[in-house]
Amino acid sequence: MIRTLRALPALALLGLAGGLLGASPALAEGDAEAGKQSYQTFCFACHGATGKGDGPAGAALNPKPRDFSTGDFKYDADGDGKPGTDADLALILKNGAAKYGGSAVMTAWSPPLTDAQVADVIAFIRTLKK
């Protein structure tokens, strides 16, 4: 018991150091229904109604927009070794894909989406996987 109590401050410091060294903060859970509204406003033109990358503007783009229905996400924007996490998607939505090796066509939105809107859009995108 005493060893456990003595180890707690060290564990707390390790957790704090992880946060300071760039570990991604957890995203708030989004509302998929609210995300659908934002998706239709900001994403539909390129990614299409069902997220297949077949929106009206997407047909003219090269490379084609990401197909969300596959659930296959390519970029590990936060560098944690796991591409396509919510944190990766949030970074791409906030900063654009080019910053992470993706297409410059996928730009950051201006004015920027709020953290809540980002979480909501991600929640909606997750519903598109078939």
pLDDT over 70 (residue 24):
no
pLDDT for the residue 28 = 74
Q: Hey, where are the domains in the chain?
A: 25-127
Q: Which fold has domain 25-127?
A: Cytochrome Bc1 Complex; Chain D, domain 2 (1.10.760)
- How many CB atoms are closer than 10 A to CB 45? 14
The reported pLDDT for the residue numbered 26 is 59
Q: Does residue 27 or residue 119 have the better pLDDT?
A: 119
pLDDT given at position 110: 85
**What average pLDDT does this structure show over 109-121?**
93
Reply yes or no on whether the pLDDT at 3 is more than 60: no
Predicted TM-score (pTM) of this structure: 0.78
Q: What percent of the chain has pLDDT over 90?
A: 75
Tally the C-alpha atoms within 13 A of residue 126's C-alpha that lie toward its C-beta: 18
Q: How far apart are CA 39 and CA 96, in angstroms?
A: 15
φ, ψ for residue 54 (rounded to 5)?
A: -115, 35
- pLDDT per position as a tens digit, 42-101: 999 999 999 999 999 999 999 999 999 999 999 999 999 999 999 999 999 999 999 999
Question: What distance in Å separates the CA atoms of residue 49 and residue 20, rounded to the nearest whole number?
Answer: 39
What pLDDT does 4 receive? 37
